[in-house]
Structure 1
Amino acid sequence: MAFLFHEAESRWARMLDAAVHAALASAVGEDNIVSDPVGLRSYECDGLTGFRQVPGLVVLPLDTAGVAAAARVCHQHGVPFVARGAGTGLSGGALPVADGVVISLQRLRRVLEVDPVDRRAVLQPGVTNLDITKAAAPFGLYYAPDPSSQQVCTIGGNVAENSGGAHCLKYGFTTNHVLELTVVLPDGEVVTLGGDTAEQLGPDLRGVFIGSEGTLGIACEITVRLLRVPQTVRTLLADFPSVTEAGEVVSDIVAAGIVPAAVEMMDNLAIQAAEQAVGAGYTLETPAALVVELDGPAAECGEQFEQVKAICERHGCTRLHIAGDAAERAKIWKGRKAAFAAVGRISPDYIVQDGVVPRTRLAEVLGRIEDMGRAAGLRVANVFHAGDGNLHPLVLFDESAGELDRAEQLSKEIAELCVELGGSLSGEHGIGTDKACSMPTMFSRDDLATMDRVRSAFDPAGLCNPGKLLPTPRLCGEAPGRYRPHPLEEAGVIERL
């Protein structure tokens, strides 16, 4: 993990130039600027709290024009800036720059349009994921991607990280549901990427932008496609004597030609935490549980559901609970979606990792993670999207007992293990600050250079969310180009080694 410095409030970072403050006040209004030390501290990190840095200023624009004006000021003055939504990201993607600006999108919260005929919605980036479905529900429509944090995470952040969720196995990730983006580029220019349909002539700049983790610009209007609510939904919760049997069920379901809407797995630690938190009816003693959901036409859904039940029973299912109605189904999902936060009930601290492996290697990777946790003297809870091999291991530790360094090292080793087994460093949480140093384990020097060229085409000055996603030419985490001393170094608080 990057080494960050924490000093007294008066020594956090050099104050931004008064001219920059005045220009930003002119762009967005003085009332929409946060500059007091207490207020700034609210923006020092995202959901990955091990990385913290207090920004120089925070601006809160009210519309696309305000975002563009703020970006233009930063560009003109050479000030780095970071866009921030709800701050629920888990990779340090919204970590501020010490002497930079945070452009907060929390006031851009309007659903601009819901078109039930063409099944589209136009949204500002601060609209929460779940509120899209709420806005579409009166028309019998919904928005398919559903991260576990969907009640609080925003569509702008979903675009930045290309988020998925439990139902991404059948319905795909954010990129499969975004048609058009109104984007503020790093120099303040406003452009449109994509169009009325998913396929457009020329380079797919919409696809390049989605998942770029805020390094290419700021999405300020997002047009998404909506789906009709399925005719039938069937959900079951199945217990198994081991994660190996549960993993074999997942492989057999897919091998049978069945594509469930979702297949989620939880191990015993995750089950204990979730059940303590919400009482969803999970079996506390079971080593592993699967949540399987099918949807679609009633006849097809019914037939495939019977096949899934038979596969579960063939692999030693010890308990099979079928949701009888929407309320029971919601209860099962409440347990699964509460798992991340619920882990706080069984551990004072934890790190959420995110990696992907082939489905056929689920049992192997879980065994390896268990061995690695034992060697590190730490527990690891597992809850993940089993259908597409997207793991979310939670490394449990106690910082007050001096376990932080071991937890961070174990978390990094788990991410790199996924690459070793033929997978990737991230499925949906992103690389951000957390895993930038691990990128060379997955990509060659030429791959990384190509990514950097794309990034530089959008942002030649390197001001938009610097230090994220890509390892830098020198020490990992050091900004590319001419050496720029840290503000605390300039103030004489620290020395460069």
Structure 2
Amino acid sequence: MSLTDLRDELTARLGRDGLVTDPAHLRTYECDALTGYRVVPALVALPRDAAEVAAAVAACAKHRVPFVARGAGTGLSGGALPVADGVVISLQRLRRVVEVDPVDRRATVEPGVTNLDISRAAAKYGLYYSPDPSSQQVCTIGGNVAENSGGAHCLKYGFTVNHILAVDVVLPDGTATRLGGDAPHQAGFDLLGAFVGTEGTLGIVTSVVVRLLHTPATVRTLVANFDSTKEAGDAVTAVIAAGIVPAAIEMMDNLAIQAVNAAVDAGFDPDTAAALIVELDGPADEVEARFADLTRLCAKATGVTIARDAEHRAKIWQGRKAAFAAVGRLSPNYFVQDGVVPRTRLGEALTRIAEMGDEAGIQVANVFHAGDGNLHPLVLYSEERGEHERAEALSTAIAELCVELGGSLSGEHGIGTDKACSMPRMFSADDLDTMRRLRAAFDPEGLCNPGKVFPTPRLCGERPGPYRPHPLEAAGVIERL
């Protein structure tokens, strides 16, 4: 392996402005949104199109240098954490909406296009892209494919995998190929389904064909307040048991509501223990009938607010989608966890999480996709008080609690670096070996996003620690770029 030779080859293929080598600039890419883990890459490639992505991957394969694809860096599991002697291949220059086809209701986009921009491009045709992660204004479709992202409306409409028709990918040896096709169902092995959600370990996406849906004719949204998270969880179970499938059911506890109210004028009750946001959409007659049933099922709510119009509804969702960032007002340091429990065990899970937080002396705010049991506990901690290790242990314990209760380690954020060591809690040795064999079929050399998803002795024995400022930085003599 020769990084010097690789640098020269990448410069020849991508141009001088297609490669980042300056040590200060390389630090821009040292982590994703899970900032507790940081590794500075050796080089960062900035390809402009699919051909240059393939050239960069082929060069890495030739010199046996590991590489990691990176989109907007909004991932929350350390999935885009670089390799110290490796290359980051950034896809931020691949930002074209190539085509919107209103007849076949599909769009072809490059991986650097943001999730929300797909819906903006399709809006003039009365269409939209339904998966909507809370970070949809900044997260990119390539990252959504890597993590199989969900969002508030995945209860009714499904995750990213349910809305992808085809992807163009560069395999780890530099070969370009297409998985999927124009028809919604392809003959043979479902390689597209196998690829989506593999966290960038099987190749790099260079183009995505997504399904588009017609904008719903009617949308009704309410916020119901409850005296406890258990009562709110019971209401979720009652709604689904009644045969109502809302577009979304989201829950926030009081701590999350405090943070949101301080950041956004969304009008949530500051005194309620828990708030449910429930949204129905579809034909007008059906929505009105179901909405009447829904309000009756919220009889135990201490108060119900119904969105007056589209502007009021947008305010409610602005508050919900701002929750992760808003929690920074309560604590500048926090872990965002992502696990799933059976919907009928929501109340039990939230009670256990509160007990675990009290035992650890750590606050936990809860804001999550209640309809499908996808929890997002936010574990707040103080670096100054030396709480990082306790908070990290609590965050891991919460993820493993989800498995104990019959759920899974991740609903949409992925395993990445963060939860790789917990994988044996959910999968047997044979399961993990089968997954590794699939990965090896795509990447026999192990160069594509190595060290992610699967537990390794290095990862689980010597986990990267949080960033510690240099004494000169703490004294104000130098600045960190």
Indicate whether the TM-score tops 0.5: yes
Is the contact made by 2:47 and 2:91 (CA closer than 8 Å) also made in structure 1?
yes
Aligned length: 463
Are positions 1:54 and 2:40 aligned together? yes
* Residue 85 of structure 1: aligned partner: 71
1:477 shift after superposition: 7.2
Distance 1:16 1:335, change over 3 A: farther
* Residue 28 of structure 1: aligned partner: 14
1:31 shift after superposition: 1.0
* Residue 6 of structure 1: aligned partner: none
* Residue 95 of structure 1: aligned partner: 81
* Residue 132 of structure 2: aligned partner: 146
Q: Residue 203 of structure 2 aligns to which amino acid in structure 1?
A: G
> In 1, Cα distance between the equivalents of 2:16 and 2:62?
19
> In 1, Cα distance between the equivalents of 2:2 and 2:315?
49
> In 2, Cα distance between the equivalents of 1:197 and 1:89?
30
Q: Residue 285 of structure 2 aligns to which amino acid in structure 1?
A: A
> In 1, Cα distance between the equivalents of 2:385 and 2:285?
56
Distance 1:92 1:448, change over 3 A: same
* Secondary structure, aligned partner of 2:460: coil
Q: Residue 360 of structure 1 aligns to which amino acid in structure 2?
A: T
* Secondary structure, aligned partner of 2:275: strand
> In 2, Cα distance between the equivalents of 1:475 and 1:140?
47
Q: Residue 466 of structure 1 aligns to which amino acid in structure 2?
A: P
* Residue 105 of structure 1: aligned partner: 91
Are positions 1:163 and 2:149 aligned together? yes
> In 2, Cα distance between the equivalents of 1:210 and 1:292?
28
Q: Residue 375 of structure 1 aligns to which amino acid in structure 2?
A: E
| 1:148-203 alpha-carbon deviations (Å, 9 max, x no partner) | 00000000000000001000000000000000000000010000000112210110
Structure 1 stretches lacking a partner, 5+ long = 1-14, 480-497
- Map 1:214-363 onto structure 2 (within 5 A): 214-313=200-299, 316-363=300-347
* Residue 391 of structure 1: aligned partner: 375
1:18 shift after superposition: 1.7
Are positions 1:202 and 2:188 aligned together? yes
* Residue 127 of structure 1: aligned partner: 113
Is the contact made by 2:2 and 2:63 (CA closer than 8 Å) also made in structure 1?
no
* Secondary structure, aligned partner of 2:7: helix
* Secondary structure, aligned partner of 2:384: helix
Is the contact made by 2:150 and 2:158 (CA closer than 8 Å) also made in structure 1?
yes
1:16 shift after superposition: 6.0
> In 2, Cα distance between the equivalents of 1:294 and 1:282?
19
> In 2, Cα distance between the equivalents of 1:198 and 1:77?
38
| 1:98-119 alpha-carbon deviations (Å, 9 max, x no partner) | 0000000000000000000000
> In 2, Cα distance between the equivalents of 1:444 and 1:49?
30
The worse-fitting range, judged by mean Cα deviation, of 22-31 and 301-310 is 22-31
Distance 1:473 1:406, change over 3 A: closer
* Residue 466 of structure 2: aligned partner: none
Is the contact made by 1:472 and 1:478 (CA closer than 8 Å) also made in structure 2?
no
> In 2, Cα distance between the equivalents of 1:297 and 1:377?
48
Distance 1:478 1:175, change over 3 A: farther
* Secondary structure, aligned partner of 1:258: coil
Q: Residue 237 of structure 1 aligns to which amino acid in structure 2?
A: V
1:17 shift after superposition: 2.5
> In 1, Cα distance between the equivalents of 2:344 and 2:355?
19
* Residue 365 of structure 2: aligned partner: 381
* Residue 12 of structure 1: aligned partner: none
| 1:223-271 alpha-carbon deviations (Å, 9 max, x no partner) | 0000000110000011111111100110000000000000000000000
Q: Residue 472 of structure 1 aligns to which amino acid in structure 2?
A: T
The worse-fitting range, judged by mean Cα deviation, of 426-435 and 237-246 is 237-246
> In 2, Cα distance between the equivalents of 1:262 and 1:461?
42
> In 2, Cα distance between the equivalents of 1:109 and 1:289?
37
* Residue 427 of structure 1: aligned partner: 411
* Secondary structure, aligned partner of 2:348: helix
Distance 1:436 1:280, change over 3 A: same
Is the contact made by 1:175 and 1:207 (CA closer than 8 Å) also made in structure 2?
yes
1:475 shift after superposition: 6.2
* Secondary structure, aligned partner of 1:42: helix
Two-structure CA RMSD over aligned residues (Å):
1.2
Is the contact made by 2:451 and 2:459 (CA closer than 8 Å) also made in structure 1?
no
* Secondary structure, aligned partner of 1:136: helix
* Secondary structure, aligned partner of 2:251: strand
> In 2, Cα distance between the equivalents of 1:31 and 1:278?
40
> In 2, Cα distance between the equivalents of 1:122 and 1:474?
40
The worse-fitting range, judged by mean Cα deviation, of 458-467 and 30-39 is 30-39
| 1:20-74 alpha-carbon deviations (Å, 9 max, x no partner) | 1010111211111100011100000000000000000001000000000000000
